[in-house]
């Protein structure tokens, strides 16, 4: 089994982000995962079995304001792993994505790279409303133990199940995202994240 958990979030108005910042986000969240996966596959093929577990995010299946580049990396991971499972099934290699929602942990400090650009003030009012509202969701969320338990559940699950959502309202949000029209779902997101924005 290999478990991949490295990642961080580049956050802020997309217009404020540099090519270097975006490249670093993809190098860590996408290409790092791909490189580790490529390295382990010959070993798993030789032993005719193995499990690849990835910490992705519910942010790989739905989106929130100010996280556009972070979301694009997580959507890339979800698509990569969903496709990869087809070609790996013949070698008895299982792919499992653990998809945390908001989790009360240092993600919002250590693992969050908040971006601003000198002279760019057009987004300030929106950012100063949405960003604190996003942080509040993390403050009242479950702790990291729920994710650890979900990783363990995925590790011992002998099925070919791909997705393991976890954490607070995460599973409910994913369910709503799939059953509601996008316009209605986005209205729900706005009602929470854009509170106070006029």
The single residue listed with the structure tokens 């995460």 is 170
* The pLDDT value given to residue 194: 92
Answer whether 176's CB lies under 8 Å from 104's CB. Answer: no
- Each residue of 18-53: pLDDT tens digit? 999 999 999 999 999 999 999 999 999 999 999 999
Tell me the C-alpha distance between 191 and 187, whole Å.
Answer: 6
* The pLDDT value given to residue 143: 82
**What are the boundaries of each domain within the chain?**
2-193
Q: Is 43 a catalytic residue?
A: no
Question: Which CATH code for domain 2-193?
Answer: 3.40.50.720
Per-residue confidence at 109, pLDDT binned at 50, 70, 90? low
- Each residue of 120-133: pLDDT tens digit? 999 999 999 999 99
- In the set 8, 43, 70, 123, the catalytic residue is 70
Tell me the C-alpha distance between 120 and 167, whole Å.
Answer: 35
Q: What average pLDDT does the structure give for the chain?
A: 92
* The pLDDT value given to residue 108: 53
Residue 110 has pLDDT above 70, yes or no: no
Answer whether 64's CB lies under 8 Å from 107's CB. Answer: no
10 phi, psi to nearest 5 deg: -90, 120
């Amino acid at each position: 089994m290999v478990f991949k958990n490295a990642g961080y979030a580049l956050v802020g108005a997309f217009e404020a982000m540099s090519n270097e910042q975006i490249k670093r986000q993809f190098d860590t969240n996408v290409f790092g995962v791909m490189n580790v996966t490529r390295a382990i596959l010959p070993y798993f093929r030789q032993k005719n079995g193995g499990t690849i577990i990835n910490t992705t995010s519910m942010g790989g299946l739905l989106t929130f304001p100010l996280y556009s580049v972070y979301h694009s990396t997580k959507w890339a991971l979800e698509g990569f792993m969903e496709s990869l499972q087809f070609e790996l099934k013949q070698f008895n290699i299982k792919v499992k994505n653990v998809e945390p929602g908001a989790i009360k942990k240092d993600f919002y400090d250590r693992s969050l790279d908040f971006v601003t650009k000198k002279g760019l003030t057009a987004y300030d009012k929106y950012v100063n409303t949405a960003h604190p509202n996003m942080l509040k969701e993390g403050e009242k969320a479950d702790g990291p133990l729920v994710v650890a338990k979900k990783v363990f559940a995925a590790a011992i699950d002998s099925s070919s199940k791909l997705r393991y959502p976890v954490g607070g309202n995460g599973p409910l949000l994913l369910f709503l995202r799939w059953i509601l029209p996008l316009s209605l779902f986005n209205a729900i997101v706005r009602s929470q994240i854009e509170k106070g924005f006029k």
